[in-house]
Amino acid sequence: MKPSIEPDALPSETVGTEPDRRRFLKAGLAVTGAALTGTDRAEPPPWMTRPGAPLSNYGLPSPHERAVIRWVAANADAPGNGISWTPLERLEGIVTPSGLHFERHHNGVPQIDPAVHRLAVHGLVGKALSFGIDDLLRYPMTSRLCFIECGGNSNAGWHQEPMQAPAGNIHGLASCSEWTGVPLATALAECGLQPDAKWLIAEGADAAAMNVSIPLDKALDDALLALYQNGERLRPENGYPLRLVLPGWEGVTNVKWLHRLQLADQPAMARNETAKYTELLPSGQARQFSFVMEAKSVITRPSAVQALPGPGLHPISGLAWSGRGAIRRVEVSTDGGKTWQDAALDSPVLPKCFTRFRLPWRWDGSPAVLKSRATDETGYVQPERQILVAERGRHGYFHYNAIVSWAVAADGSVSHVYA
């Protein structure tokens, strides 16, 4: 998508077109680059004077990147129950490394032997079947890039006071991967469906026997029996050896360690569709079966607890996504929402997938408030926080997708604000 920014805006405020980008890079190098001196070329660095490390069987991140890790919050009263957040503010592009994909476990990570793991499909089917992992690996597979977001992601936004933490520690229960596997519709076609089959009850093989009910239409549309993530077999914490992936739907429906699918004429009304993932609205009614994750965006650079080194040109960058389709537009404000400018969207821009947006910003050293606002292909526009709270009330916990505001102080420090 081409940003609608006048080139003349470069010297005073923000830039976004391709020629402007080149000018930004040129100006940025002039600001941050250091002149090459004779000392720079006098001695080679030590890693150029001796052989490097030997070959390895499986690569690991550089030891200099040890700080790029998931932030873990475990439940001390229930071992194995907890979450870990993806460090969004430390990553680039749209693909989350498998080892940094967020986690949510209800009773720990099972260590499953793929040689004995099976997927049972039963209930309102023509013929109940059981698939081994080797069976599934013989079916035609497909790949797609899509995000998975926990329904409870960003729920700190419901707090009365803004939480001061890195962007990933607030919004990092969302990650994006390339998932590869067998279309669920293919497996269901093998079994045949009875006419009154309307729901699919999916269950994981963990010690919590996590289960949720899924409308059959979604299962037949784009659901995937995922065997691979980012080119390698699933990691145990992400569902090895088999995970159900429902693009654009809340994380709990993407059942990990999948071992059973029951076709039924009504939902199971299990814990995760009655006691959890429901919310009391101001009208007195409760939201239930709120599967789709609405359009959302967050600026990851600069973001809370980071600091700008001083006035001058700075890149504003972040992520946007929508469970209803592709992101069509991301606007950025540097004055608390008084004015907005279109950000540039990195390719590819895919449906139900992370989209990276960017907008160079010339900061003059004055206090500023940064915001981003996503619009998806259905025309849905990410709401301001006060609008979301007015619609949903004060009992919210799930599906928080309001505009996020970061305040930049005169000293360059960045904090989370409600503005």
**66-87 per-position pLDDT tens digit:** 999 999 998 888 888 999 999 9
Closest by CA to 370, choosing from 330, 310, 321, is 330
Contact 369, 408 (CB under 8 A): yes
**211-253 per-position pLDDT tens digit:** 999 999 999 999 999 999 999 999 999 999 999 999 999 999 9
Closest by CA to 102, choosing from 93, 113, 110, 91, is 91
Residue 88 — pLDDT band, cuts 50, 70, 90?
very high
Specify the range with the lowest mean pLDDT, choosing from 270-274, 343-347, 350-354: 270-274
Residue 128 has pLDDT above 90, yes or no: yes
Residue 262 — pLDDT band, cuts 50, 70, 90?
very high
**298-340 per-position pLDDT tens digit:** 999 999 999 999 999 999 999 999 999 999 999 999 999 999 9
Q: DSSP letter at 167? A: H
Closest by CA to 323, choosing from 394, 399, 258, 239, is 399
pLDDT attached to residue 21: 52
**1-57 per-position pLDDT tens digit:** 333 333 333 333 333 344 445 545 554 444 556 777 666 667 899 999 999 999 999
pLDDT attached to residue 276: 84
Comparing 16 with 291, which gets the higher pLDDT? 291
Report the distance separating Cα 334 and Cα 370, nearest Å. 5
Residue 379 has pLDDT above 90, yes or no: yes
**152-168 per-position pLDDT tens digit:** 999 999 999 999 999 99
